[in-house]
Amino acid sequence: MSEETSTFETSNGHLNKNGDSPSGGGKADRQESSAKGDGESAQPGTKRSRRKTQTPKSNPIATVTLGHNGSKVTALGIGTWAWGDKLFWDYGNTYGASEVEEAFKAAVQAGITFFDTAELYGMGESESLLGRFIKEADRPINVATKYSPAPWRFTVESVSEAISASLKRLQLERITLYQVHWSFNFLMSQETLMNALANEVQKGRIECIGVSNYSAEQMLEAHTLLARRNIPLAVNQVQYSLLNRKVETQGIINTARKFGIAILAYSPLSQGLLTGKYTAERTHIPNGARRIDPRFSFQGLYRITPVLNLLSQISEKYNKTPAQVALNWLIAQENVIPIPGAKNASQALENAGALGWQLAPEDISILEQATRPWL
Ligand SMILES: NC(=O)c1ccc[n+]([C@@H]2O[C@H](COP(=O)([O-])OP(=O)(O)OC[C@H]3O[C@@H](n4cnc5c(N)ncnc54)[C@H](OP(=O)(O)O)[C@@H]3O)[C@@H](O)[C@H]2O)c1
């Protein structure tokens, strides 16, 4: 089994891989494993008799080490924003607790043990649901959650209290990855915030520190502040998909690679658009806030039709789904871990099936060229 690692630059300027010998930085190597459980690589043009969301056997799954000597997580995580959220998503109406519990179980069964949540999602409900499901899980689960920097949170104690509350909801003693949700600087400076987080690493309540929605400069500042405490910045979680590639032109991807900071790609399916189920024919209307999102309007869907057609063609070739191809393209980018949302077992299983096979370089390149308008 090959294992992918993140790299980071130490305070004396060396790039380390796996926390040992100096190396060139962040190279991806996710060869082994099959989330689909058949242990074989998909070959373009070969047909398989099994269904695309067939329940996998428990084969080893590709993992990634977050930061220097950091936690090892699966190379794809499941996002849980929709678990308990009624503001943006449609929780409690078109799906509910039993569906998301089935999503959790299906993901774990498929080998995915990394879940992303936030104290904000469902006002704590996402963390509470996840905590309940983890209690019943038959293997260790890695949780990434997030701290909301709010104007009334300006003391070190407020960070500590937020972590205590998350740990309680998650029913855990330690959080694998604790991320700052946005780069807002109200009355608490980044220096105070990073030091407060570093204290929590030393106390053992969090394993790795991450940020989210940070620009390249902000990410570098967080990295530098943490390096003073000898703690690497493990992650920057940003919006990244074939239909939103701005992080590439904003220098975030390159800077993260240079400093060994892993990228957690959120909304990697462009909130369902890249699954191909929302088309200009509008036979399928999204629920929740996406109903008024221009990307889901006739014009928005018409514009992405060529990308959806291409994804459909490529997915046929590999006997995969468009969503699996879109996620595999992200996985093929160095140092990127997609965290697709899943509301039910079949979505979780399908998304897990983005692991265990690789797009050929020419298909990676065709998708890259076709989505340049979204750079
Ligand atoms: N840090 C941040 O600021 C931030 C912001 C946004 C998200 N996130 C994180 O990233 C995660 C994922 O992002 P996201 O939920 O915005 O978008 P996403 O993963 O691109 O899309 C998720 C939605 O797509 C649909 N879907 C997912 N898999 C599918 C499949 N296999 N087949 C068909 N439909 C499928 C589902 O909605 P429908 O079935 O209703 O279409 C699902 O809720 C979140 O859960 C959260 O953990 C972080």
Question: What CATH code is carried by the domain that includes residue 71?
Answer: 3.20.20.100
Evaluate: CB of 339 within 6 angstroms of ligand 1. Answer: yes
Instruction: Answer whether residue 351 is part of any domain.
Output: yes
Using DSSP's 3-state secondary structure scheme, residue 149 falls into: coil
Please check whether residue 223 is in contact with residue 259, taking contact to mean a CB–CB distance below 8 angstroms: yes
Please give the chain's pLDDT, 375 residues, in tens: 333 333 222 222 222 222 222 222 233 334 333 333 333 334 443 333 333 444 445 568 999 999 777 899 999 999 999 999 999 999 999 999 999 999 999 999 999 999 999 999 999 999 999 999 999 999 999 999 999 999 999 999 999 999 999 999 999 999 999 999 999 888 899 999 999 999 999 999 999 999 999 999 999 999 999 999 999 999 999 999 999 999 999 999 999 999 999 999 999 999 999 999 999 998 899 989 999 999 999 999 999 999 999 999 999 999 999 999 999 999 999 899 999 999 999 999 999 999 999 999 999 999 999 999 999
Q: Which atom of ligand 1 is nearest to the CA of 182?
A: 3
Instruction: Answer whether residue 307 is part of any domain.
Output: no
Instruction: Answer whether residue 313 is part of any domain.
Output: no
Length of the chain equals 375
Mutate to test the pocket of ligand 1, among 343, 349, 351, 355 (most ligand atoms within 8 A of CB): 343
Instruction: Answer whether residue 235 is part of any domain.
Output: yes
Nearest residue (by CA) to ligand 1, atom 4, is 266
Residue 272 CA to ligand 1 center (angstroms) comes to: 7
What Å distances lie between residue 353 and 156, 305, 328, CA to CA? 41, 24, 9
Evaluate: CB of 212 within 6 angstroms of ligand 1. Answer: yes
Please check whether residue 269 is in contact with residue 278, taking contact to mean a CB–CB distance below 8 angstroms: no
Nearest residue (by CA) to ligand 1, atom 26, is 272
Q: Is the dihedral of CA 153, 266, 241, 356 positive or negative?
A: positive
Mutate to test the pocket of ligand 1, among 235, 241, 267 (most ligand atoms within 8 A of CB): 267
What Å distances lie between residue 373 and 22, 150, 242, 284, CA to CA? 37, 35, 10, 25
Instruction: Answer whether residue 263 is part of any domain.
Output: yes
Instruction: Answer whether residue 284 is part of any domain.
Output: no
**Residue 197, domain extent:** 4-37+56-269+321-357
Please check whether residue 76 is in contact with residue 351, taking contact to mean a CB–CB distance below 8 angstroms: yes
Residue 204 CA to ligand 1 center (angstroms) comes to: 30
Q: Which residues are catalytic?
A: 121
What residues does 175 pair with on adjacent strands? 206
> Structural domain tally of the chain?
1
Q: Which atom of ligand 1 is nearest to the CA of 241?
A: 20
Q: According to the model, what pLDDT value does residue 73 have?
A: 98
Nearest residue (by CA) to ligand 1, atom 30, is 347
Residue 317 C-beta-side C-alpha neighbours within 13 Å: 15
What Å distances lie between residue 151 and 18, 187, 290, CA to CA? 38, 7, 28
Evaluate: CB of 99 within 6 angstroms of ligand 1. Answer: no
Residue 10 CA to ligand 1 center (angstroms) comes to: 34
Q: According to the model, what pLDDT value does residue 69 have?
A: 74
Mutate to test the pocket of ligand 1, among 54, 238, 242, 271 (most ligand atoms within 8 A of CB): 271
Instruction: Answer whether residue 78 is part of any domain.
Output: yes
Q: According to the model, what pLDDT value does residue 59 have?
A: 61
Measured CA angle at 118 (ends 235, 296), to 5 deg = 90
Instruction: Answer whether residue 48 is part of any domain.
Output: no
